């Protein structure tokens, strides 16, 4: 457990390990929010909850710096709950168990699950700065938002007039040598196919297809790496056979903003075609797995006989849904010019699930629902709008109900920002090497906060975190100390302004 590790800077890591001990997946941050308020008040700081549930902590300026521009330190309270296939971790009950990576002890990771350094380190860093008695600073605020990872609800519902600062330091960055100046816009597309269910017809052979062992990752930061999306691997296998298949179950992934690592289907096919189709599936799966050998060396596809399900879709519904899902645009479609490792436009089908429907939801008896969650990201809003419209049209034409969640506009870079200039100078002086201004294909709350507080000058910063949103998530231990030195110096520099 983390409490047995002695890491520096101690004040940051002790706060982070306390955070790890409190379950806080998206939509379940109440206990951690309570911890934040109580910790702030024990330190003699003003703390409150706004109408959206966000936590706001305030600390007056150091003597003589009352007229300095106020600084808002901002992080989010929730974490992405992803675990390995063999893990019994319960994100609503169990603490995160940090450990040193045995192969790379300079990195800290969790046991069988995401670590939550995204953004637990940001929360811990915010408290370490507020509680530092030697820090010389102007007015400070710490904004801790709810539900960043699954809709950015806290930032979306942040009311005007609550924040007093003029500068915002988002502590959700993931590379210590980068200063974030922009982020992609995005839109979540939730959809559901609702069709009448039937008893499995006689004369069918049933198969279970399982895709596992994908590396997964962040649908923003990792989408350009070409990793396998297990849902799409499954659909690539089934799509060419759609006209012959009866669909009993289809599912995979769990979050729109995480690349699916596992997927599963139960399908029936005529006995006379089972041997031929099984051979084609096996050959196709071998080719797919070989194609991902460089990015997903653990990828595995299994095809095995299965028992017939209690209910299934009829042949026409099965073919229609499988063809539509297989046709959905998915992956990274382009890279930002001049930034060859940053995606420009992407779409990620992150979750599929099958659920029974009561007779009241479907005419003619019981039904089955195939529900999906998809996330489109774009550096330029017109491209996002066009792709979302194309996806919506495709899904509706196939009979799906589509729910377009509130859109997130892109945070466009301001390379002439005085804050950016100061931050790059501080990072160079503190680290002994240049930092780089970068945009991210991930979504950041900066874009929503700026819509409510348009006068803010803002950047996004953080230590080095790799593979967020997957069980391989890890934070580079020494980078946390270097990051804290930089951000502490930056706060003091801004206090002199």
pLDDT in tens, 105-162: 999 999 999 999 999 999 999 999 999 999 999 999 999 999 999 889 999 999 999 9
Q: Is 78 one of the annotated active-site residues of the chain?
A: yes
Q: Is 150 one of the annotated active-site residues of the chain?
A: no
Secondary structure (3-state) at 245: coil
Position 300 pLDDT exceeds 80: yes
Backbone angles phi, psi at 47, to 5 degrees: -140, 140
Q: How far is CA 90 from the centre of its chain?
A: 18
Alpha-carbon span 136 to 133, nearest angstrom: 8
Q: Domains in the chain and their CATH numbers?
A: 2-184+410-495 (3.40.630.10), 186-404 (3.30.70.360)
Residue 12: which pLDDT band, with cuts at 50, 70 and 90? very high
Over residues 98-106, mean pLDDT: 95
Position 207 pLDDT exceeds 90: yes
Given the residues 18, 78, 174, 262, the one annotated as active site: 78
Secondary structure (3-state) at 299: coil
Asked whether the whole model's pTM tops 0.85, one would answer no
The Cα-based distances of 26 to 22, 261, 301, 446, 447 in angstroms read: 13, 19, 30, 18, 19
Residue 4: which pLDDT band, with cuts at 50, 70 and 90? low
Secondary structure (3-state) at 410: coil
Position 293 pLDDT exceeds 60: yes
Contacts of 126 (CB under 8 A, 6+ apart): 57, 73, 74, 75, 142, 144, 171
Alpha-carbon span 266 to 484, nearest angstrom: 50
The distance between the two most distant Cα atoms of the chain, rounded to a whole number of Å, is 85
Task: Give the pLDDT of residue 3.
Answer: 57
Q: Starting at the earlier edge strand, list the strands of the sheet with 167-170.
A: 46-49, 55-59, 140-145, 71-76, 167-170, 457-460, 178-183, 436-440
Given the residues 148, 149, 176, 296, the one annotated as active site: 148
Contacts of 233 (CB under 8 A, 6+ apart): 211, 214, 263, 288, 292, 299, 301
H helix runs in 76-207, sequence order: 117-130, 153-156
């Amino acid at each position: 457990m983390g409490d047995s590790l002695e890491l520096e800077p101690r004040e940051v890591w002790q706060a982070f390990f306390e955070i790890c001990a409190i379950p806080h997946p998206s939509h379940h941050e109440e206990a951690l929010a309570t911890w934040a308020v109580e910790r702030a008040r024990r330190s003699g700081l003003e703390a409150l909850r706004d109408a959206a549930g966000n936590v706001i902590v305030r600390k007056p300026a150091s003597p003589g710096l009352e007229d300095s521009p106020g600084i808002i330190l901002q992080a989010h309270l929730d974490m992405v709950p992803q675990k390995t296939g063999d893990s019994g971790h319960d994100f609503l009950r169990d603490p995160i168990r940090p450990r040193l990576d045995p192969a790379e002890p300079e990195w800290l990771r969790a046991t069988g699950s995401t670590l939550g350094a995204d953004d637990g380190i940001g929360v811990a860093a915010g408290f370490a700065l507020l509680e530092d008695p030697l820090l010389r600073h102007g007015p400070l605020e710490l904004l801790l938002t709810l539900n960043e990872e699954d809709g950015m609800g806290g930032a979306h519902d942040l009311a005007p007039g609550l924040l007093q600062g003029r500068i915002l330091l988002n502590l959700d960055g993931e590379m210590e040598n980068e200063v974030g100046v922009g982020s992609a816009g995005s839109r979540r597309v939730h959809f559901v196919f609702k069709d009448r269910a039937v008893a499995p017809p006689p004369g069918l052979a049933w198969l279970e297809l399982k895709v596992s062992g994908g590396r997964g990752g962040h649908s923003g930061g990792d989408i350009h790496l070409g990793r396998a999306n297990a849902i799409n691997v499954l659909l690539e296998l089934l799509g060419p056979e759609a006209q012959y298949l009866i669909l009993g179950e289809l599912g995979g992934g769990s979050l729109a903003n995480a690349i699916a690592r596992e997927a599963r289907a139960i399908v029936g096919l005529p006995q006379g075609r089972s041997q031929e189709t099984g051979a084609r599936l096996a050959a196709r799966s071998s080719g797919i797995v070989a194609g991902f050998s460089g990015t997903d060396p653990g990828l595995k596809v299994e095809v095995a006989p299965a028992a017939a399900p209690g209910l299934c879709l009829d042949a026409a519904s099965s073919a229609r849904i499988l063809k539509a899902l297989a046709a959905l645009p998915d992956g990274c479609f382009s890279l930002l010019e001049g930034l060859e490792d940053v995606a420009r436009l992407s779409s990620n089908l992150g979750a599929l699930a099958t659920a029974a429907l009561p007779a009241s939801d479907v005419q003619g008896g019981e039904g089955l629902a195939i529900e999906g969650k998809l996330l489109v990201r774009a550096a330029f809003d017109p491209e996002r709008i066009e792709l979302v419209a194309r996806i919506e049209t495709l899904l509706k034409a196939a009979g799906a109900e589509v729910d377009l969640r509130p859109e997130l506009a892109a945070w466009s870079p301001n390379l002439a920002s005085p804050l950016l200039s100061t931050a790059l100078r501080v990072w160079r002086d503190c680290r002994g090497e240049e930092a780089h201004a970068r945009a991210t294909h991930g979504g950041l709350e900066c874009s929503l906060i700026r819509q409510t507080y348009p006068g803010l000058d803002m950047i996004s910063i953080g230590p080095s975190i790799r593979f967020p949103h997957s069980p391989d998530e890890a934070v580079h231990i020494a980078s946390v100390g270097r990051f804290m030195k930089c951000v502490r110096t930056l706060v003091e520099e801004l206090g002199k302004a």
